[in-house]
Amino acid sequence: MSFVSKLPEESRQQYEAIAAGWRAEFEPEGYQETRLVDILIQNDWLLQQSDQRLLEAETALCNGAGDEEDIENKQRRKAAAERSFYRAWNALQGLRKELMRQQWILAKQEREIARLQAKLEKLREGQEPQAKTRAEKKKSVPAVQHETKAQRLFQGQNGPKKQCKIQVFASGEERSPAQNPATSPDSPSSDSWFTIDLPRV
pLDDT by 10-residue block (mean), the chain, 201 residues:
72 88 88 90 90 83 76 87 90 87 88 89 79 69 60 57 57 48 47 56 49
- Tell me, yes or no, whether 133 lies in a domain: yes
Do 161 and 70 belong to one domain? no
Is the whole-model pTM more than 0.75?
A: no
SS3 state of residue 175: coil
Q: Which of 137, 195, 187, 132 is nearest to 164 (CA)?
A: 195
Domain count, the chain: 2
What is the residue range of 180's domain?
157-199
Do 37 and 84 belong to one domain? yes
- Tell me, yes or no, whether 88 lies in a domain: yes
Do 64 and 107 belong to one domain? yes
- Tell me, yes or no, whether 129 lies in a domain: yes
Of how many residues is the chain composed?
201
Do 58 and 118 belong to one domain? yes
Determine the Cα–Cα distance for residues 185 and 131; give it in Å rounded to an integer.
61
Do 12 and 109 belong to one domain? yes
Do 184 and 95 belong to one domain? no
- Tell me, yes or no, whether 71 lies in a domain: yes
- Tell me, yes or no, whether 152 lies in a domain: no
**Is-contact 71 61, C-beta < 8 A?**
yes
Do 177 and 132 belong to one domain? no
- Tell me, yes or no, whether 143 lies in a domain: no
Do 170 and 121 belong to one domain? no
Domain end point (choices 86, 106, 137): 137
- Tell me, yes or no, whether 148 lies in a domain: no
Do 126 and 183 belong to one domain? no
Q: Longest Cα pair distance anywhere in the chain, in angstroms?
A: 164
Do 97 and 185 belong to one domain? no
Domain end point (choices 137, 170, 185): 137
